[in-house]
Structure 1
Amino acid sequence: MKKYKIFLIGVLSLLIFGLLLPQPIQAFMVLLESPIKDFFLRHSLLLCVAVGITQGLFEEGGYYLVFKTMLKKEKSKETPIVFGLGRSSIHTIFDFVTIFATHMSIFGCLIAVVGRILSFGALMGLTLIDYKSVTNKRVVYLALSIVFHAIMNGVLYANELELLNVNNNFDSIFMICFSCVVIIISVLICKNSLSEEA
């Protein structure tokens, strides 16, 4: 398959699994009048956990399915990288537009940009973990990427709802620290996978 097609599959996968599918569920939790909305209004931290898990399940689970079905014949080492570029680039462009659309101090803007750059690396790392989950037949890798994604989204959503009593740059500092953890673990998984294949 041509690289640009794999890239476009990454873009479409983000739109489908990152936006189209989880958004109605999240809207059901917070917008539609129901006992579920009432429950989450009383338990905001549980709402953050539910939003994080929903996003993690749909995104990482969706990418796993794409690697297992549409891209199952693509055995090149470039496949997860090109797919990840499609997934991560759109995400990062959206993040940069958001940063520059808000009024921040120069320091706040700088730290937000660094956070988003490292977040790009973390998303690429999660993509590699999903790919290794398929190629190495390790469901535990998929579970790990879902948990990482859930933590990232859950904490950022909690900060957005002002549930965390932290400073203005917390989201960027958290992105920097957590992204570094995800990148390191994804590199270790890839190294372990290479040693298993040798």
Structure 2
Amino acid sequence: MAGVIFGLLIGIIFPLVSLLYCLIKKHYFKPYFLGVSAFIISQMLLRLPLLQWLSVNVMAYNMFQVTQPFLFALVLGFSAGVFEEVARYIAMKYFMRNNQNWNDGIVFGMGHGGIEAVLFLGISVLASLFSPTMMLLHGTDYFMGGIERVFAILLHVGLSILVLKGASSGQIKYLVYAIFIHGMIDSFAGSIPLLITNSFSIIVIEGLLIITSVLLFAYCIQLRKNWSVVK
């Protein structure tokens, strides 16, 4: 039950509280909404349907997955980085002209990571409330999923600040950094189990997520000291 409660806290309650805060602090509603929209458009409406179409209609795509699993994991991971970070950049560059301060990056990341938490964790946890068996079987998974979502949200906050730095200062290199970091983290999920073929691979993957998200956010704190916006 503790796992279910923690999963609900991270997958449902946190995104809702964040949304309510942004509704009260009206200045932050636009970056939060755009963060949510950037994820939904880039992943749910573009990237995932494209990958599904390729898997059904393109034989070479499936052969590549089977014959080159490591490279396939890298390509898949970096495709997420390209789709999400470019969407982030477009939203910030062209729709956030009056919301390009450091704090706006945090709010954007909370929206982006929050909707991901709802879709990939929160909905499943809510469904378990109506199924005692599901709750019993997946309680530990929800707890671990909640921990993963905490650091995934922190990662999205860091990536959002990084991309916003590029959009607000006119330095495209920050977008490239974000694509690389995002791509590497996502590719770990598919490549590391190929290198470590036991349950320890999960610890390695989650450990790399935690280390990367914390270091990235620490770097973003340093960026705040010389934050500049080009109008």
2:13 aligns to what?
Answer: none
1:141 aligns to what?
Answer: 174
Match of 1:96 among 116, 121, 131: 121
- Secondary structure of 1:69's counterpart equals helix
- Secondary structure of 1:163's counterpart equals helix
Match of 1:40 among 58, 62, 65: 65
Q: Against the structure 1 CA distance between its residues 168 and 14, is the aligned structure 2 distance closer, same or farther, given a 3 Å change threshold?
A: same
RMSD of aligned alpha carbons: 2.8
Is 1:184 aligned to residue 215 of structure 2?
yes
- Secondary structure of 1:78's counterpart equals helix
Q: Against the structure 1 CA distance between its residues 43 and 30, is the aligned structure 2 distance closer, same or farther, given a 3 Å change threshold?
A: farther
Q: Is the 8 A contact 2:165 2:227 kept in 1?
A: no
Using the TM superposition, give the Cα deviation of residue 34 of structure 1 relative to its aligned residue in structure 2, in angstroms. Answer: 2.8
1:62 aligns to what?
Answer: 87
Q: Is the 8 A contact 1:118 1:180 kept in 2?
A: no
Q: Is the 8 A contact 1:115 1:176 kept in 2?
A: no
* Alpha-carbon distance in 2 for matches of 1:84, 1:35: 35
Structure 1 runs, 4 residues or longer, greater than 6 Å off: none
Deviations 1:59-118 (A, max 9, x none): 011101111101123234332122222111111223334775673574x65444322211
Q: Which amino acid aligns with 1:83?
A: F
* Alpha-carbon distance in 2 for matches of 1:190, 1:20: 32
Q: Which amino acid aligns with 2:174?
A: Y
- Is the radius of gyration larger for structure 1 or structure 2? 2
Deviations 1:19-67 (A, max 9, x none): 2111233224433233333233211112111111111001011101111
2:10 aligns to what?
Answer: none
Using the TM superposition, give the Cα deviation of residue 129 of structure 1 relative to its aligned residue in structure 2, in angstroms. Answer: 0.8
Match of 2:184 among 147, 151, 155: 151
2:225 aligns to what?
Answer: 194
Q: Which moves more between the two structures, 176-185 or 78-87?
A: 176-185
1:8 aligns to what?
Answer: 33
Q: Which amino acid aligns with 1:124?
A: V
Q: Give the TM-score, by structure 1 length.
A: 0.81
Q: What residue ranges of structure 1 are gaps of 5+ in the alignment?
A: none
* Alpha-carbon distance in 2 for matches of 1:72, 1:7: 14
Q: What residue ranges of structure 2 are gaps of 5+ in the alignment?
A: 1-25, 129-133
* Alpha-carbon distance in 1 for matches of 2:198, 2:142: 14
What is the identity percentage for the equivalent residue pairs of Structure 1 and Structure 2?
A: 17
Q: Number of residue pairs matched?
A: 194
Q: Which moves more between the two structures, 111-120 or 165-174?
A: 165-174
Q: Which moves more between the two structures, 3-12 or 165-174?
A: 165-174
Q: Is the 8 A contact 1:136 1:193 kept in 2?
A: no
Using the TM superposition, give the Cα deviation of residue 172 of structure 1 relative to its aligned residue in structure 2, in angstroms. Answer: 5.5
Q: How does 1:120-135 map to 2 (within 5 A)?
A: 120-135=153-168
Q: Which amino acid aligns with 2:222?
A: K
Q: Give the TM-score, by structure 2 length.
A: 0.71
* Alpha-carbon distance in 1 for matches of 2:201, 2:143: 13
1:23 aligns to what?
Answer: 48
Q: Which moves more between the two structures, 44-53 or 62-71?
A: 44-53
